[in-house]
Structure 1
Amino acid sequence: MASDNRTPVVLCWHMHQPGYQDVKTRQFLFPWVYLHAIKDYSDMAGHLEAHPNARAVVNFAPVLLEQIEEYLVQIERWRHGVGELGDPLLAALVSEELPETGTPAFLDLMNKALRANADRIIQRFPPYARLAELAELYRSRPEIQRYLSKGLLRDLLVWYHLGWMGETVRKQNHCVQSLQEKGSGFSMDDRRALLDVIFEVMAGIGPRYRNLAHRGNVELSVSPYTHPILPLLLDLGSAREAMPDIPLPQHEKYPGGELRASWQLEQARQVFQRFFGTEPSGCWASEGALSQETLSHLQQHGFKWTASGDSVIHNSLNQAREAGEPVGENDIHKPYRFGDSEVTVFFRDDGLSDLIGFTYADWHAKDAVGDLVHHMENIVRAGKGKAGPVISVILDGENAWEYYPENGIHFLDELYAVLEDHPRLRLTTYRDLVDEPVCEPVALPHLVAGSWIYGTFSTWIGDPDKNRAWDLLCEAKGHYDRAMDNGRLNADRKLAAQKQLALCEGSDWFWWFGDYNPAQIVSDFEHLYRRHLVNLYELIEYDAPSSVFQQLSQGGGEPARGGAMRPGHEEGK
């Protein structure tokens, strides 16, 4: 590729879900792992399979991979009559007996089967839309509930899963097509057939991405095991590098954070190797959260590249400039190295990435891709005469597409079609750019700690609710350390506690705490976070303090896209 003078473009799709399973009961408290697997992880593979000349980086959080595997094991055991389905929605889909109308259990399942994008999913399918209308009538008229049939819930559960089905599956799978044509009155055979489709799609995730990597279409990379904010594990005070006045938790440091960061990275490599049969070259540190110390840990664990948001490089360049270092202009389209770290760091073009996440969903696909590529071409023109730029588009591989028509199939198909054969742009991967650099990485003395959200850690620390959550975790870690050293726990118990602690360290709990997030989602995540902490205390045989049972956060805001995504820059900056 050395003779190819086109400007490299990296599309990096980050696949991530936190730990939704209660390891004590093996129950999944929320269905987002399997729903995004059948909708987004399958579709994202399908688009790359359909464009053999396209290339991308696909990053997986190991905790997501393990949960997909757990679903497959549970479904297989259930098929053989030796186990239960640990997800209430999946279990209800094939249950012989559904709750009686008029009961809280019926209402709970009905409401869960309507947690889908109203415009892009529910209203798209007339039978699903009619069921949603009936559900609203059911909620508003309690006196008629007893006269409605369980068939309402049975059909609603089928349509919920049909609505969440990936578009590439929908266009190819005869079972899905026949169920959509049938529309209502679904039998147990129909429901079991749909479960078979769900299993087949989920079982194909690992092999399909392995094959794409083997073909050279995809570079697979990994995040730390349970998606923690590594810089905060290493040093809570790193939040003040970008925000000097940010309030911090009462605990000044996460106990034993260096060992935990190393464990998270080593565990990530092990899970990745088990699933994909190869070693990762790169690590998308959770939320693009980096610090100078984090780079050292990434290097120690054999990673050659990482990436973050463009505000991080702006902050780092500004700090170097203020210190009198001879640095050039602010350029996000270059690889960098910091201090004595040999890890190459790339930076997300927040403007381009956020256009996909927040703007293009309502555009015609050709117009959206034309606009995006036009911006890329302008970057190429602006870089004439300089060392070759690298354009990085990085965003979640699952959260944007439910806001697009038909799960983004038209946009993504057009994007790959245009870029796989563009005269001035070439799709590539970070591994290839490290192995065959288009330019030498720019050297800077220090990386200012921050993330891809605003270039700070304010999404995970500093808010009173977030800080309380950190204090609960720090307190639990102190008890964990003493329990691991006192000789009472056997080896199996220690291993279970170690993994349970990792679940508590995930970034998502801290992301959702705060008044600016939707109340229902805040309630869901703070409940799950506290449950993970309770499970940890049980494993280390220590009574959980009363503070773990007190509500942490309430929420009540209405952020864009429900809060699951955030733009890289704060509004007006």
Structure 2
Amino acid sequence: MTDKKLHLILCWHMHQPDYRNLTTGEYMLPWTYLHAMKDYSDMAYHLESHPQAKSVFNFVPVLLDQLEDYSRQFEEGKLRDPLLALLDEKDLNNLSSVRRGLIFDSCFRSNHTKMIDPYPAYKRLSDLYKHHELNGEASLDFLSGQYMADLLVWYHLVWCGESVRRGSELVVNLMAKGSHFTLADRRQLFDLIGKTIRGLIPRYRSLADSGQIEISTTPHYHPIVPLLIDFKVARESMPGVVLPEATCYPGGLKRASFHITSAIESHRDRFGVAPQGIWPAEGGVSQAAATVFAEHGCRWMASGESVLVNSLRGLDGNQPLPSRMDYLYRPYRLATGDHEIVSFFRDDRLSDKIGFEYAKWFGRDAVDNFIDELEEIWRHTPEGESPVVSVILDGENAWEYYPYNGYYFLSEMYDALESHPFIRSTTFKDYLDGCVESNGMQVQLPLGLVENASTTSPAMGKLPYLVAGSWVYGTFSTWIGEPAKNRAWDLLCTAKQNFDLVMGSGRLDKQEVELAHKQLADCEGSDWFWWFGDYNPQHSVESFDKLYRDNLANLYRLLKLPIPEQLGKPISHGGGSPEAGGAMRRAA
């Protein structure tokens, strides 16, 4: 009987950009608290329910900042999220047109097939809205305060995680009641949301303290670190790409170091230890970025399969490759000057199956297929080598497209992993700890890469150079190279130049400097650039476009400088209809 195992690392990436207006503290979009009550709660539940299963959860610090901020809002009773505040509003009969518009604009913005149509009472509210909308905006004025109450309650009910729904008598009773919800009903649901959000960080810390999960981090405000350091690295995987007019992001290496240092401090404060590894924003890596991660003590990092392919082929792209079975299912050591870091690479096909395909399958069939795929990898990797398979994907947006928020798929997947004879779920940290403890032997790997391996732990390759790219297509095309994206970078570069001038002038006091630094960090996040482009849906593009320009305008205000006129003009308009609403993207 062989002792060959398959090491499966499931890494769930949890991220929301900063939706706050940092000047007013008001939330401009509600996605952080909605995903908290639906996805972050459910994903913790599945691990709590499967104590023999292991996973990695990557929490971006700016998401944790917002979760803690929401917790304070509930504790203090001072709400700065306008949609959440409406659930707790005493009088819904005399709302302003702006607040009524917010309800209409928000409460049908869900996956209708999975989150509205299955509930007759909610679907009736949707149908009634469509009827009045067809008769003109004035017709919507006839929708009563009770209609608003019912709509707000149903919207928040369907955004409750399946574990919350099954564990709460209140949610079951409200769904059974169906309509005519009272203020008391709304406030009980409001209190449940607060309790759920306040418990999230402690639940994940408890799982991490027990050793069942590893929590990793991302540079604090989710910037694309390789592009902060050097725009030109985009040409390593896109030789002909047109870059922004600015030759580089001013002081980018120092900014990258700030985001990483801040993330490590955030992690230590919240979870009691420094993170062992890092999922760079969007899996964005480069040789220079890897060096910075290693210098900050990161033991491991991860990226996409296409980045590995590009790196093995070399900068000239001419190196022939063997079957992916011969190179993908092992981590790689990367020398970075005086330091070393181990890089894992996701199985793009399996990760995308969970992200996009299995939602369309019957849950048991999807799990069986997933296990079959892993067993096939186990059978076909080189003899004597125990493969490590990294499945890394969005841990929040995918479940909106699954029946019951992915409850049956995730439950049955973890069931199967707990009982499987040779598939072992593990974490990046535990896998590396096992490598250190094992006594290896020298083996010859493809492409002349040589490293230690044994029959109980997989071989580890070596990369002489890491070609820059991300988990999407192995390039940075989602964030740079398109006219709107380049314009957004140029606006940011100009703002950073002004920032540097003001910081050097001594015009601001300590508190003003701190606020300006935080606002700049918000502007450096990757999400703004993700959404720019006409292939994305109009409403999302407009929302993120405005948020980005508002953030830049706030930065100029904090610097006590005039706001450039061009920040009043949209950067991009959208109009496409991408898969999963554009919030997720396939790797290839």
SS at match of 1:345: strand
Structure 2: how far apart are the matches of 1:539 and 1:248? 29
Structure 2: how far apart are the matches of 1:74 and 1:127? 30
Provide the residue aligned with 2:212 in structure 1. 217
160-169 or 533-542, which deviates more: 533-542
- For residues 370-425 of structure 1, the C-alpha deviation after alignment (integer angstroms, 9 at most, x for no partner) is 11111111111111415321101100110100000000000000110001221121
Provide the residue aligned with 2:485 in structure 1. 466
Q: 1:551 to 1:320 in 2, by over 3 A?
A: closer
2:8·2:389 contact (CA, 8 Å) conserved in 1?
yes
SS at match of 2:431: helix
SS at match of 2:129: helix
Q: How many angstroms does 1:502 deviate by? A: 0.6
1:99·1:105 contact (CA, 8 Å) conserved in 2?
no
SS at match of 1:27: coil
1:312·1:448 contact (CA, 8 Å) conserved in 2?
yes
2:110·2:116 contact (CA, 8 Å) conserved in 1?
yes
SS at match of 1:388: coil
Structure 2: how far apart are the matches of 1:154 and 1:457? 44
Say whether 1:353 aligns with 2:351.
Answer: yes
Q: How many angstroms does 1:535 deviate by? A: 0.9
Structure 1: how far apart are the matches of 2:286 and 2:199? 36
Say whether 1:337 aligns with 2:339.
Answer: no
Structure 2: how far apart are the matches of 1:322 and 1:286? 25
Aligned 1:258-269 pairs, distance under 5 A: 258-269=253-264
Q: How many angstroms does 1:144 deviate by? A: 4.3
Provide the residue aligned with 1:396 in structure 2. 394
1:102·1:146 contact (CA, 8 Å) conserved in 2?
no
2:310·2:317 contact (CA, 8 Å) conserved in 1?
no
Q: 1:105 to 1:99 in 2, by over 3 A?
A: farther
What's the TM-score once normalised by structure 2's chain length? 0.93
Q: 1:418 to 1:328 in 2, by over 3 A?
A: same
Aligned 1:347-496 pairs, distance under 5 A: 347-437=345-435, 438-496=457-515
SS at match of 1:524: helix
Structure 2: how far apart are the matches of 1:4 and 1:499? 51
SS at match of 2:23: coil
Structure 2: how far apart are the matches of 1:439 and 1:377? 15
2:11·2:55 contact (CA, 8 Å) conserved in 1?
yes
Say whether 1:306 aligns with 2:301.
Answer: yes
Q: Alignment partner for residue 557 of structure 1, among 557, 566, 576?
A: 576
Structure 1: how far apart are the matches of 2:128 and 2:317? 63
- For residues 107-133 of structure 1, the C-alpha deviation after alignment (integer angstroms, 9 at most, x for no partner) is 332221111110101112111111111
SS at match of 1:426: strand
Aligned 1:72-91 pairs, distance under 5 A: 72-78=71-77, 83=78, 85-91=79-85
Q: Alignment partner for residue 527 of structure 2, among 487, 497, 508?
A: 508
Q: Which runs of 5+ in 2 are unaligned?
A: 436-456
Aligned 1:49-64 pairs, distance under 5 A: 49-64=48-63
SS at match of 1:461: coil
Provide the residue aligned with 2:6 in structure 1. 7
Q: How many angstroms does 1:338 deviate by? A: 2.5
Q: How many angstroms does 1:443 deviate by? A: 1.1
For 2:115, give the aligned amino acid: I
Q: How many angstroms does 1:434 deviate by? A: 1.5
Q: How many angstroms does 1:327 deviate by? A: 8.3
Q: 1:421 to 1:465 in 2, by over 3 A?
A: same
Say whether 1:117 aligns with 2:116.
Answer: no
> Which ranges of 4 or more aligned residues in structure 1 deviate by more than 4 Å?
99-102, 320-324, 326-330
Structure 2: how far apart are the matches of 1:301 and 1:322? 31
Q: 1:432 to 1:323 in 2, by over 3 A?
A: same
Provide the residue aligned with 1:525 in structure 2. 544
Say whether 1:133 aligns with 2:127.
Answer: yes
Q: Alignment partner for residue 90 of structure 2, among 72, 84, 96?
A: 96
Q: How many angstroms does 1:489 deviate by? A: 1.0
- For residues 533-554 of structure 1, the C-alpha deviation after alignment (integer angstroms, 9 at most, x for no partner) is 0111111111121122211000
Structure 2: how far apart are the matches of 1:8 and 1:516? 38
Q: How many angstroms does 1:460 deviate by? A: 0.2
490-499 or 395-404, which deviates more: 490-499
2:242·2:481 contact (CA, 8 Å) conserved in 1?
yes
Q: How many angstroms does 1:141 deviate by? A: 2.2
Q: Alignment partner for residue 285 of structure 1, among 274, 280, 300?
A: 280
Structure 1: how far apart are the matches of 2:434 and 2:97? 63
SS at match of 1:28: coil
For 1:487, give the aligned amino acid: G
Paired residues, what number?
561
Say whether 1:540 aligns with 2:559.
Answer: yes
- For residues 279-323 of structure 1, the C-alpha deviation after alignment (integer angstroms, 9 at most, x for no partner) is 110100001000000111111111100100100000000117868
- For residues 212-267 of structure 1, the C-alpha deviation after alignment (integer angstroms, 9 at most, x for no partner) is 11122100100110001000001011100000101100001000001000000000
144-153 or 101-110, which deviates more: 101-110
Q: Alignment partner for residue 231 of structure 1, among 226, 231, 253?
A: 226
Q: How many angstroms does 1:453 deviate by? A: 0.3
Q: 1:145 to 1:257 in 2, by over 3 A?
A: closer
For 1:49, give the aligned amino acid: E
Q: Which runs of 5+ in 1 are unaligned?
A: none
Q: How many angstroms does 1:146 deviate by? A: 4.3
Q: 1:212 to 1:484 in 2, by over 3 A?
A: same
Structure 2: how far apart are the matches of 1:381 and 1:123? 43
1:26·1:86 contact (CA, 8 Å) conserved in 2?
yes
337-346 or 193-202, which deviates more: 337-346
Provide the residue aligned with 1:65 in structure 2. 64
For 1:472, give the aligned amino acid: L
For 2:87, give the aligned amino acid: L
2:57·2:214 contact (CA, 8 Å) conserved in 1?
yes
